[in-house]
Amino acid sequence: MSGHSTRPYFVVYALLMVLLALTVGAATQDFQAWNFPIAMLIATVKAGLILVIFMHLRESSALTWLFASAALVWLAIMLGLSLNDYLFRMG
Amino acid sequence: MTSPTSQASTSHTQSHSATGHLPPVAMQFDDALQQHDACRLGMWLFLSTELMLFGGLFLAYTIFRIAHADVFAEASQHVAPGWATVMTALLLTSSLTMALAVQAVRDGLHRRATVCLLLTMLLGGGFIGIKLHEYHSLYAEHLAPLFGWPFGYSGQQDASLAKMFFVLYFFMTGLHALHMVIGISLLCWIMVAMIRKRDARRWSTAAEMVGLYWHFVDLVWVFLFPLLYLIRPDKWF
């Protein structure tokens, strides 16, 4: 693991800054109902870059990927099942 | 591991001592690599529980925002997206310097590691500074519904619902800021070791775990930023 090039870090950093500019730019526009999904999409891409490069998932074992994904699965259960109630509750 | 423990451990120690980037092996592990992987896995498990902690607040936020979209849009115009953009840039930059610091510790470059850790701390400190400034202006505007401080909301929307936005704002950013303070303390701990020229090999795993923590906190902010500041930005500063 030693002696790795630091180049990917700088590339990801540049991408993150571009995405930051993009999310700020998108917020100034009125896309009606699409503003929220666009903002979340950009945030998710940023998170993905941080996870894979900065947090070394790229070079991590399958087990680490499993642990990281499990966190997202539990979060999805918490958000998904709760919203299923709040969004579709009648009366 | 089928090979005898001592043999495996010796061979790994030898292969890594040349480049000097793995800590000594504790007795419960077969070799340095297994120890490192176990550490990394434990950290990811911890970060999963952290995600659950923040997840509860994100859930509360989502439910209230769906129910009162216009209230949240109006209330969020009282926080400054311009400053938040600067804060996001500071934090993203700190993640770069953190990643470089972890690499430098791994490579045994004390000086570079120290500089990168210091930069990370300064960028994090800048973030906290702007955050405190924002907290203070909200307090001055009577928009901090904490500790029984006076709260007064003057907008088109219902004040008690707007209060909910500020409650969530303070709890989400407050919990995040607390994590940053812990992160800065951990950085300080690694940096002191680097300044004292302690064997970087012993610190590479610790530095990597602090790095994971720091990037996770950055990651939470990546979502907080559009949720709290960019709903319908009006005034930027």
Question: Quick one: pLDDT at residue B200?
Answer: 81
Q: Does A57 touch chain B (CB under 8 A)?
A: no
Q: Which of A50, A57, A39, A52 is nearest to A16 (CA)?
A: A50
Question: Quick one: pLDDT at residue B2?
Answer: 43
The answer to whether B180 and B128 have CB atoms below 8 angstroms apart is: yes
Regarding predicted confidence, which is higher, B36 or B117?
B117
The answer to whether A71 and A57 have CB atoms below 8 angstroms apart is: no
**Min distance A90 CA to chain B CA atoms (Å):** 14
- What confidence category does residue A1 fall into, taking pLDDT thresholds of 50, 70 and 90? very low
Q: For A26, which residue in chain B has the nearest alpha carbon?
A: B230
Residues A17-26 pLDDT 10s: 999 999 999 9
What are the structure tokens assigned to B70, written together? 């216009």
Residues of B in contact with A75 (CB under 8 A): 51-52, 55
Helix, strand, or coil (residue B177): helix
* Distance, CA of B199 to chain centre: 26
Residues B174-201 pLDDT 10s: 999 999 999 999 999 999 999 998 788 7
Q: Which of B60, B53, B94, B95 is nearest to B228 (CA)?
A: B60
Q: Does A34 touch chain B (CB under 8 A)?
A: no
Instruction: Note whether A79 contacts B58, CB cutoff 8 Å.
Output: yes
HSE-CB of B47 using CA atoms within 13 angstroms:
27
Share of chain B above pLDDT 90, in %: 78
pLDDT at B24 over 50: yes
pTM for the full model? 0.90
Residues B76-116 pLDDT 10s: 999 999 999 999 999 999 999 999 999 999 999 999 999 99
Give ipTM to 2 decimals.
Answer: 0.93
> What dihedral angle (degrees, nearest 10) is formed by the CA atoms of B123, B128, B129, B133?
140
List the 78-97 stretch of B: residues with Cβ below 8 A of A. Answer: 81, 85, 88-89, 92-93, 95-96
Q: Which of B33, B17, A87 is nearest to B25 (CA)?
A: B33
Q: What is the mean pLDDT of chain B?
A: 90
Instruction: Note whether A82 contacts B96, CB cutoff 8 Å.
Output: no
Most A CBs within 10 A among B96, B214, B217, hence the mutation to make, goes to B96
